[in-house]
Chain A
């Protein structure tokens, strides 16, 4: 096994182990920090695959945005030093059973399916190609989803402000 492949397996192990700790930890702060490690390792996998732009977006949006938002909401809603209540034992059992069965089912299907490797020459994934593809309206252009995304973000922003406003300031 080459060093490059070992990097991939190490990053994957880091992703899976920290994700598992994130969903099982009893301390919600530790859970958020393990989620952070998992997301950073996923960005590492993107770097390893030579998708620098996606890795940068992953780091900025997830690590810099979403995890910080989650930690803020933990601060607002959780008393310090109080552990999470233990989950119901039956529910824990059935959740583990369901996810294990699903994992085995999907993995067996994956291993049985022959994927045909693409034959076309690899396209350059540099910033210029990505940017012109996002704003072009011809074939393989993504201008319409890009604009829809800006409307979605605006709607989400307005919705968040309206939902999280204090009720008495609305009725005034």
Chain B
């Protein structure tokens, strides 16, 4: 694994992050927006693991951060899906354009 430089990992995770940003900005369905957020969180995890492996191989901080991010992502996905289901009961739609009660 030494022949792959650190930069390539970082470029892959940057590309994944901005693919997630693109989906977050362009999608209208709340479930697909949630999926884009998962992609963004995963790109951050790749970054943490790559930095841990290449820059601080004697420590495991990146590994623990990745574990905690995965746990937080699971909690976030569960809460987001509960909110989406509640919204669906209210509006019969999960399109981000339809939930405009707070818009004046």
Q: Which residue of A lies closest to B35 (CB)?
A: A35
Q: Digit string of B63-104 for contact with A (CB within 8 Å is 1, else 0)?
A: 110111011111111110111111011000011000000000
Size of the A side of the interface (Cβ < 8 Å), in residues, is 87
For chain B, give the interface size range.
Answer: 35 or more
**In the complex, A11→B43 CA distance in Å?**
14
B79 lies within 8 A of A35 (CB): no
Interface of B is mostly: helix
B3 lies within 8 A of A5 (CB): yes
A residues at B contact (CB < 8 Å): 1-2, 4-5, 8-9, 12, 15-16, 19-20, 22-24, 28, 31-32, 35, 38-39, 42, 45-46, 48-51, 53-54, 57-58, 61-62, 65-66, 69-70, 72-74, 76-78, 84-85, 87, 91-92, 94-96, 98-100, 102-103, 106-107, 110-111, 115-118, 120-123, 125, 129-130, 133-134, 140, 142, 145, 149, 152-153, 156-157, 159-161, 163-164, 166
